[in-house]
Amino acid sequence: MSRPFLAALPILVRRERALLAAAVLAPPIALIVTVILNLGLYVAMGGDPAAVVYAMLIEPFFSWASFSEVLLKAGPLLLIAQGLAIGFRAKVFNIGAEGQFVLGAIFASAIPIWWPDATGQWIWPAMLLFGTVGGAFWASLTAFWRVRLNANEILVSLMLSFVAVQLLNYLLLGPWKDPNGFNFPQSVMFQYDAMVPILIEGTRVNVSIILALLLSIAAWIFMQKSFIGYKLQVGGLAPRAANYAGFRESRAIWLSLLIGGAAAGLAGAAEVAGPLGQLQRSISTGYGYAAIIVAYLGGLHPIGIVLSAVVMAALYIGGDNAMVSANLPVAAVRVFQGSLLLAYLVAIAFMRYRLAWRPAATRSPI
């Protein structure tokens, strides 16, 4: 059949042992390849590559105004990705972080919307707590469907994200709409005490980035040092062995989804109590999906994820910059994200395989 054509291609040969250097080099190499491919696309679309490179890759790191926004965006991405990565390592694919993020924002907003006149330093911490519960609650629906009804968690969590967005629309067009908001689908502006304290004067960077970093350390300890984290990883790598060892799959699913949902919910709460200051439709901008890329690009490792969250946040800010200065459509960021993950998945293959131009040995049929 297509044998002559396939024979001309190099084949993959499994390495004796996984190459650690490839694991470390894969993300930067993938990034470089993606930048080149996407610049080619922009040039083909009539863009100015120099302007795009400056706006996307240089400005976010060399202007304080831009970099503070990078930090602001990195917070939610970091939180969500850390939560998701724990599940992914246990082979529990929670793709519905977007919905859990939205539910976190909704739960957190309930406090300032129901008690707009309340004052006190307890309000924003209570909102973060409520948001965490909201995200975990939304993820628990998926966990229940997966454990009790055996339904695929990818599909259920994703469908619940669509439902969450409609729930948000319903609240903002109905009961939670700001009566003095000129009919805009948004809630009232929250009171001062409902806002997460600003960390760096003159920027929008708030305490939630510290929270995200602390939880990253917690995730590292949990995954690398704790027995439960170890059980989760074993369950992901060798489900049968884990089963024999008495590690229950259903517990791993519940734990993975609840952690992922709680982290996404916290991120959603920090978003309404932080830069937004109210509940609005634009809360759902795809953080939950971008965080999947952040998690993989960070090698599903807590430290790698911190780096990849900053890269992805810079990409968002750079994309915004390029939209203004180099006339780049905003959708280009999504194309960049998708191709970055693909390039990474190819690059990471070289950790386990090497290319060989000829089959090692042609075997006799018997």
Q: How far is the CB of 185 from other proteins (least distance, A)?
A: 11
Joined tokens for residue 118: 């309340």
Interaction residues for other proteins, span 295-314 (CB under 8 A): 296
Is residue 311 a contact partner of residue 297, using CB atoms and an 8 Å limit? yes
Q: Which residues pair with residue 280 across a beta bridge?
A: 186
Asked if 29 is part of the footprint of other proteins (rule: CB under 8 A), the reply reads no
Q: Of the two residues 76 and 185, which places its CB atom closer to other proteins in the complex? A: 185
Asked if 95 is part of the footprint of other proteins (rule: CB under 8 A), the reply reads yes
Q: Of the two residues 67 and 289, which places its CB atom closer to other proteins in the complex? A: 289
Stretch that binds other proteins, among 50-58, 109-117, 292-300, 315-323 (CB under 8 A): 292-300
Q: Of the two residues 99 and 277, which places its CB atom closer to other proteins in the complex? A: 99
Give the residue, chosen from 113, 269, 311, 332, that forms a contact with other proteins under the rule CB under 8 A: 332
Residues present in the chain in total? 366
Asked if 162 is part of the footprint of other proteins (rule: CB under 8 A), the reply reads yes
Q: How far is the CB of 237 from other proteins (least distance, A)?
A: 13
Asked if 341 is part of the footprint of other proteins (rule: CB under 8 A), the reply reads yes
Asked if 335 is part of the footprint of other proteins (rule: CB under 8 A), the reply reads yes
Asked if 149 is part of the footprint of other proteins (rule: CB under 8 A), the reply reads yes
Q: What kind and span of H or E run contains 355? A: strand 353-356
Nearest Cα residue to 261 out of 2, 41, 87, 33: 87
Nearest Cα residue to 97 out of 121, 78, 112, 72: 78
Q: How far is the CB of 39 from other proteins (least distance, A)?
A: 14
Nearest Cα residue to 97 out of 123, 76, 117, 125: 76
- What stretches of 188-248 show up as alpha helix (H) in DSSP? 208-225, 227-237, 239-244
C-beta neighbour count of 292 within 10 angstroms:
21
Q: Of the two residues 30 and 57, which places its CB atom closer to other proteins in the complex? A: 30
Is residue 148 a contact partner of residue 86, using CB atoms and an 8 Å limit? no
Nearest Cα residue to 285 out of 267, 301, 297: 267
Q: Of the two residues 28 and 116, which places its CB atom closer to other proteins in the complex? A: 28
Asked if 349 is part of the footprint of other proteins (rule: CB under 8 A), the reply reads yes
